[in-house]
Structure 1
């Protein structure tokens, strides 16, 4: 039986960051990946594919130029699945090559196969040829990610009724689309296809969606989606989903309304990919969605030498936070002292338009009883926004009236996920409104929105004493 100081099950963002961190500490590391090549969900069906499809759709549709040239402007008149697939395959191949080189450079061994526990420290890996590899790990990290939730009542066929895996494995552009589930994944795909002028109906059983985002940002976002023709039905329970002989899908809601489209994407939740692991053999249990409970500071499970990180432990399920979780887990596993984690990290939703946020939203500020002021900037108020032809996009900033400290930044619009990092830095460094008032920003840039929003808040704030 081969022995390693760390076995990592899964090679997504958390797994690869943990493996590299452990290797940098001089530890022997084995990474087990269930797919034919490394990368995990992030590279093969999640983060990278969805963002690549988004960029392809925006480029080929001419979306970013329509502010100048009108809604009829197109770079390519007819966009098909092949157009989406070409760029997708090139991007994924590059990402995989980078990861394989990174593992090789750090002398990390990788094995492709399905892992399962045979004891607290023992793992068997079933390889593609049917053979088993038995390995033993002094410490083990589980980073297997998640898989789409697939209820039996939904007639998945991989073509007309699909989940978020199938929609990138064989991409195509349907004549119409129903998306069930207004979580991050559902919102992203609904808006990507809408940007390609596909009629989209978004169905969410709850009355609200993306509840962790500032409500004013969601109101702005929702208005923009409806303004371009997307149908959004919240508080709508799905009674049945049926596929007709012609392949078109009819979705019947509890109130009797029906939606008939050529394709349906079911994106109502994901479950931890823990079923094949035989976790009972190592003493671990999972919740009803297959997720593993960990110490949020160290990512240690109830079995001290076993750690878990990434989407398999639940919220926030971001590639960026998963990487940091993996690094922290590896450091803790081998006794490396950890600096205190930053209080705030950014969320990015790669919809069309983008949403990004860091710090407290207005609901949270009110709930805490903090006296505050708000500053708003519209991207059309910036010269860069005019140059880019932007008719929409906004930044919202929250400041404490008592200390003038920045409390939160919330952005909806072009480049939101890039712009947010300025706010993140100031927030974690406990900066105040005065930073934005007194410092110079490049001109013309969208980043000028920080100064505009800060001045907007400053105009309504009491003057500083002294």
Structure 2
């Protein structure tokens, strides 16, 4: 068996692997990438971010059209099913794969098809169905992503028990759905199914939705989910699941039983680190399959890096790409300081969306930072009134003495786009709330919310 050698070998073609491979290639490193699936893109493209957000867009478009006074009557008899709406994601996935395939071709990065397993600290065997090859490298970057966590007591082979991957292959139109887990994925799917017209119960193991977010924002989301018909059960834990021929029953520790057509398990993810021969190298994944890394994304073997979901939080596609790039930057310059995410935004694609960057009110209160809040309700904005997207708000948290912008939190249509204006201002040395006062915004736009919120905040100062 012949052996090929590369300076950098990347394992996994999701955002983290792509970021690493492109960075290595641009810096003239001899790099190759291993991918076990037949197409590049990783879970983000094929089972996670892209198909679920394409589904969300299709559901929201249908919902908005039915509410439109001009289109609604014409669509009264239109009945689109969950599988029909889901089919819209196929075009997006195919386009994304084609674009990413070309990235590797243009940058001369060989794609090695198969599963990677370490034979020793410097050798990997890549095995496909009918062939295998050995690869040696100076540096390895593990970017294998994650998959939904499966409790051993749940039977995921039953057609009425699905996770966030297999729900995208569900071929019926459910009348009722129970979602266990009210984190980002669970909340997003609750929005999708309730806007599709399903009866949705969202079971939350904590006392409020997504406690890492601003409290006012999550309260707004809870309100709108309930207004749309979603039932939210807080502080509940699973005792058991009873799949039956025509339905499935979730048994909770409180004694409550919830019957539905479909149970979507959305409570945690597991890193894809199994069967890679890592344990023999002294690299032992934790109970969720994640590898421990330092501030440079190095594992216990300094020449082996782990980036993206397999390295743990924040487990965001946007962050994973940056992590992959940084790992290669550290290979190029080992004197680089540990990586710190500065002003990393989050985007949560519920209906309406949530996005934020910077600190929350709870964090500022904890640290005794003198701050004030400027707020703009979307119903005040002409653009929101025109598009009938009046549900939402923009919050700007700023230092009460220096006017430095400390956090931006947005709930409403296009929140994940709107937040980047605040992010850009916060990244400047001259970061100040006054930017939003002095800058001319196009009118009418949603961006105008920054001007309204800034004036609202200044009016609150003593």
Q: TM above 0.5, one fold?
A: yes
Partner Cα distance (2:304, 2:77) in 1: 51
Q: Does 1:244 align with 2:247?
A: no
Displacement of 1:49 in angstroms is 1.0
2:87 aligned counterpart, secondary structure: helix
Q: Is the 8 A contact 1:114 1:276 kept in 2?
A: no
Displacement of 1:294 in angstroms is 1.3
Greater alpha carbon shift after TM alignment, 64-73 vs 183-192: 64-73
Counterpart of 1:143 in structure 2 is 143
Equivalent of residue 53 in structure 2, options 51, 54, 73? 51
Greater alpha carbon shift after TM alignment, 321-330 vs 389-398: 389-398
CA-to-partner distance for each residue in 1:410-439, whole Å, 9 max, x for gaps?
001100000000000111114111111111
Between Structure 1 and Structure 2, how many residues are aligned? 458
CA-to-partner distance for each residue in 1:104-137, whole Å, 9 max, x for gaps?
11010111211111100110111022x2211111
Partner Cα distance (2:335, 2:21) in 1: 17
Counterpart of 2:64 in structure 1 is 63
2:120 aligned counterpart, secondary structure: coil
Counterpart of 1:79 in structure 2 is 80
Displacement of 1:234 in angstroms is 0.8
Q: Does 1:380 align with 2:382?
A: no
Partner Cα distance (1:289, 1:126) in 2: 25
Partner Cα distance (2:76, 2:364) in 1: 44
Counterpart of 1:445 in structure 2 is 445
1:276 aligned counterpart, secondary structure: coil
Counterpart of 2:98 in structure 1 is 97
1:351 aligned counterpart, secondary structure: coil
Partner Cα distance (2:268, 2:395) in 1: 29
Q: Is the 8 A contact 2:374 2:455 kept in 1?
A: yes
Counterpart of 1:189 in structure 2 is 189
Q: Is the 8 A contact 2:241 2:248 kept in 1?
A: yes
Partner Cα distance (2:365, 2:112) in 1: 51
Distance 1:232 1:67, change over 3 A: farther
1:275 aligned counterpart, secondary structure: coil
Displacement of 1:342 in angstroms is 5.7
Displacement of 1:30 in angstroms is 1.3
Counterpart of 1:461 in structure 2 is 461
1:62 aligned counterpart, secondary structure: helix
CA-to-partner distance for each residue in 1:211-241, whole Å, 9 max, x for gaps?
1100010111111111111000010111111
Counterpart of 1:351 in structure 2 is 350
Displacement of 1:276 in angstroms is 1.6
Partner Cα distance (1:358, 1:145) in 2: 24
Counterpart of 1:287 in structure 2 is 286
Distance 1:460 1:222, change over 3 A: same
Distance 1:315 1:385, change over 3 A: same
Displacement of 1:331 in angstroms is 1.2
Q: Unaligned stretches of 5+ in structure 2?
A: none
Partner Cα distance (1:210, 1:334) in 2: 38
Partner Cα distance (2:448, 2:245) in 1: 55
Counterpart of 2:302 in structure 1 is 304
Q: Is the 8 A contact 2:394 2:410 kept in 1?
A: yes
Q: Is the 8 A contact 1:42 1:48 kept in 2?
A: yes
Q: Is the 8 A contact 2:83 2:170 kept in 1?
A: no
Partner Cα distance (2:74, 2:201) in 1: 23
1:425 aligned counterpart, secondary structure: helix
Partner Cα distance (2:99, 2:389) in 1: 35
Partner Cα distance (2:58, 2:269) in 1: 25
The two structures have a TM-score, normalised by structure 2, of 0.95
Greater alpha carbon shift after TM alignment, 330-339 vs 360-369: 330-339
Q: Unaligned stretches of 5+ in structure 1?
A: none
Partner Cα distance (2:76, 2:19) in 1: 38
Partner Cα distance (2:14, 2:232) in 1: 33
Q: Is the 8 A contact 1:241 1:252 kept in 2?
A: yes
Counterpart of 2:333 in structure 1 is 335
Distance 1:22 1:172, change over 3 A: farther
Displacement of 1:338 in angstroms is 5.5
Displacement of 1:257 in angstroms is 1.5
Displacement of 1:81 in angstroms is 3.9
CA-to-partner distance for each residue in 1:340-390, whole Å, 9 max, x for gaps?
756211100111111000000100010110111111111110000110112
Counterpart of 2:16 in structure 1 is 14
Partner Cα distance (1:416, 1:425) in 2: 15
Distance 1:197 1:81, change over 3 A: closer
Q: Is the 8 A contact 1:17 1:327 kept in 2?
A: yes
The CA RMSD measured in Å over matched residues stands at: 1.9
